[in-house]
Amino acid sequence: MADRETYQAAMREAASAAWDQDYQRAITLYQRALKIAPDDAQALAGLALSLMEVGQQAEALKAYGRVSQLVPNDPLPLEKMAQILEEMNQIDEAAKKYLSVAELYFARREIKNAIPNWERAVQLRPDLPQPHVRLAMIYEKNKDTRQLAIYEYLSIARLLQQFKQLPKAEQALQRAMQIDPTNTDVRSALADFRRGAPLQVVGAPVQQRATSELKKKQVEPEPEIEEEETINRSPTDEAAHYALGLLADLVWSDQVSQAAIEPLVRAIELHQVGSVEEAIQSYSKALKTGLNHPALNFNLGLLFLYSDRFDEAFNLLSRELASPDYGLAANLGLGQVYYARNDVRTAAGYLVEALYRADVALNDQVDQGGYERLKSNLEEQSVEHLNDLCHALLPYLDDVKWREKLSNTFTGYAVQGKSSYVPDLIELVLEGGRPEMAAGMERIDLYMARNSTRMALEEAYYAIEKSPDYLPAHRRIADILAKEGRTQDAAIKINLVANAYLMRGNADKAADLYAEVIELWPADMAARQKVIDMLREQGRVTEALHQWIEMADFYHRLMADTNKATEVYLAALNYAKKNDAEPTRTIPILKALADIEAQQLNARKALSYYEQIVEIAPDDQDTALSVITLNFQMGQSNKAIAALDGFLRYCITRGEAGRAVSVLEEQSRLHPNEIGLRQRLADVYRQQKRIPEAIAQMDAIGELLLDAGRIEEATAVISKIVEMNPQDVEGYRKLLAQLQSSS
């Protein structure tokens, strides 16, 4: 515990020293923190930055190297290392580091960030093949940079010629010729190549480079490469297209044996034109040469699937189930394999996993628990239900509009505030698997949008007549009743539908519907408690907390029963701690408790809640200011200023110096007699070269000290003002002389 406190104190002081630009002291403090936590990436990064600022480049390089080992997927430390190596004139090593940075961004599909690092790598070391290959492929796919691709292909051809790989060098020249057959640089290079002359270094015309850079700056944000194309591809086609691009990169790199190049090139060409059997043969030949690459495994497995060669498809696609690039498509493919074999239980497992991966790809806040419950319940479902699920999921996911459909759906859930939406999503998918019912639901929604509630109600009753057990139609009736203002009837109907879902074993959906009943009748505390109990049983911690907070808010805001509200808030807080809820989920509870205590003038209790919030969310400015204000009200100036210092340090480490200064100015205005506040503000003004404002603060400090009879301290302040040589320095000198003579 003591070590932890020492570490935190060292980190706070280090950030403060960095704010004061006292980097030597920051280095000492970061090193102190690292003695306690040697593998702390944040402390190492702070140390590295401070070392850079004082010119200790070699030590900074070592520190960033350690950070890179601790967080290998973070490109920032590598980027700093590249910059340091370049400053140290270690050009070859710097170029390799820029290349590593670019490859990390490329793996994360952050093309915009990768490009400048590839470009810097080839600027420093033009003979590195890999960045030329990457840039050529990327430049060629963007109409604004296609001309630049020509010169990357010329560089590739020159390097391949040097490596005696003449057929590949000629291919690179032909690619350049295809882009612009009239380009004189390409034609000259091709002529030199054919007569056996060495190819020369040829750079893109300055005008082309300048135009390209200007367009990059004008377009915000820069579009991802081929974004327009991938929008209209199914998940499997999208993954196959991405794999083709990587395989094409391999052809130009030195990562493929000579024996694999010819069949791989042939396979790519055949795959692109849709010659499935011939592409399979060529991919298989490349595989037999020992080439083992996820892109090859996936594309060959996909073609086996298209040819109904399920065993071979399974062997290859199952290798890529966990891949971030091919996992969605691989799970979808294996779902198709097992569905074709009539094993709907296994197929459903793969397809639900594919849906989850599609969700992860598009949605910021995924209902992880909902998917886990769905997967665990598959074993209990009937074969008929699983067949319906597979029959609905396959066309829903294997669709060129999958991104648009799912994105719209997730946006709708977010607008409704639903964090547990998987049951609704599955119901939506199943509706799509029953076209006649889905069409009826669409008509109901259309009538509702037009406020034709009578027509919507008739359509809903017609749907129930055709399929009495179709619960979505019953649910629509409740919506219609609510729209007509018949909220009590709507609540009763939703309650009945919820009971039906509960009897079918779908407790998730039932809990959601019971929650909707509460929205219609917020004062029904018994119903709300029922929902809370169900959510707790299902382990849906976040939603249970939401319902508890709603209940407590109802007691607090509408019924003015602060005792009952406090009781419920405390129960929710206790539940959150016991169930390891995300700490941010407790912030509304803590704020409400602090508000209640502040209203009852229990400042100390209110302060304890606010301090807990600051630990969870140090960027919460309102809370930080509440802590400062309460401490001042309680006469605890030292604690108030310490709390302010903590918030200022947080702002500084986040690079928000302007925010820190504005808060400090406001606090100095609110508490003009606090010398500590004015002193901090004066120091900040001096650092920012705002000398007149700094002098004004120091002048005020001097007056406060004189009024308090603290002559010696006042003398020191006036002396500092004289050293700053203000316009009316003579007046300050006279005052200083008087103070010195009197003392």
Domains of the chain by range and CATH? Answer: 2-191 (1.25.40.10), 672-743 (1.25.40)
Mind listing the pLDDT tens digit for each residue in 234-246?
Answer: 899 889 888 888 8
pLDDT over 90 at 298, yes or no: yes
Mean pLDDT of 669-690: 86
Which DSSP category does 203 fall into?
Answer: P
Q: How confident is the model at residue 417 (pLDDT cuts 50, 70, 90)?
A: low
For 51-76, what is the mean pLDDT? 85
pLDDT at 222: 40
Average pLDDT over residues 332-347: 93
Confidence of residue 65 (pLDDT cuts 50, 70, 90): confident
Average pLDDT over residues 490-508: 70
pLDDT at 311 over 60: yes
The C-alpha atoms of residue 505 and residue 121 are separated, in whole angstroms, by: 59
Q: What percent of the chain has pLDDT over 70?
A: 88
Confidence check: pLDDT of 218 > 50: no
For residue 75, pLDDT beyond 60: yes
Q: Is the pLDDT of residue 479 over 50?
A: yes
Q: What distances in angstroms separate CA 346 from CA 35, 351, 383, 390, 449, one per listed residue?
A: 52, 9, 11, 10, 40
In the numeric block, which tokens belong to residue 135?
Answer: 């840039």
> Residue 261: its pLDDT value, please?
82
**Does residue 614 have a pLDDT over 50?**
yes
Token reading at 429: 């998918």
- Residue of 349, 353, 308, 344 whose CA lies nearest to 326: 353
Out of 119-123, 196-200, 274-278, 497-501, least confident range: 497-501
Q: For position 327, what pLDDT does the model report?
A: 93
* DSSP states along 512-548: HHHHHHHHHSTT-HHHHHHHHHHHHHTT-HHHHHHHH
pLDDT (0 to 100) of residue 41: 81
pLDDT in tens, 249-292: 777 666 778 788 888 888 888 887 778 889 899 999 988 988 88
pLDDT band at 521 (very low <50, low <70, confident <90, very high): low
The H-or-E segment that residue 736 falls in is helix 729-742
User: Average of pLDDT values for 398-405?
Assistant: 83
Q: How far is CA 429 from CA 216, 343, 563, 658, in A?
A: 41, 20, 46, 50
Mean pLDDT of 649-661: 75
Q: According to the model, what pLDDT value does residue 734 have?
A: 86
pLDDT of residue 224 exceeding 70: no
pLDDT of residue 640 exceeding 50: yes
Q: What's the pLDDT score for residue 412?
A: 64
- Alpha-carbon distance values, 248 to 127, 229, 265, 266, 694 (Å): 20, 18, 8, 11, 63
pLDDT digit string (tens) for 125-184?
888 888 888 888 888 877 788 888 888 888 888 888 887 878 878 888 888 888 887 788
Q: What is the mean pLDDT of residues 62-90?
A: 86
Confidence of residue 354 (pLDDT cuts 50, 70, 90): very high
pLDDT value for 210:
44
- pLDDT value at position 523? 62
Average pLDDT, the chain: 81
What per-residue confidence (pLDDT) applies to 313? 92
> What is Dmax (Cα atoms) for the chain?
104
Confirm if 240 and 299 have CB atoms less than 8 A apart.
yes
- pLDDT-derived band at 2 (thresholds 50, 70, 90) equals low
CA separation for the pair 176, 709 (Å, rounded): 84
**Cβ atoms within 10 Å, residue 447:** 19
Q: Which of 72, 73, 76, 87 is nearest to 46 (CA)?
A: 76
How far, in Å, CA of 201 to CA of 194, rounded? 17
What's the rounded Cα separation, in Å, for the pair 201 and 339? 56
User: Angle at Cα 172 formed by Cα 166 and Cα 176, nearest 5°?
Assistant: 145
Q: What is the dihedral of CA 464, 468, 474, 480, to 10 degrees?
A: 20
Q: Is the pLDDT confidence value at 16 over 90?
A: no
Residue 230 has pLDDT above 60, yes or no: no
pLDDT at residue 317 in the model:
93
pLDDT given for residue 653 in this prediction:
67
Q: What is the pLDDT of residue 213?
A: 52
So what's the pLDDT on residue 346? 94
**pLDDT given for residue 522 in this prediction:** 64
More confident residue, 607 or 494: 607
Per-residue pLDDT at 332: 95
**Phi then psi for 142, rounded to 5 degrees?**
-120, 120
pLDDT confidence of 425, banded at 50, 70, 90? confident
* 545-555 pLDDT per residue, tens: 877 887 888 77
Query: Does 360 score more than 50 pLDDT?
Result: yes
Banded model confidence at residue 348, pLDDT cuts 50, 70, 90: very high
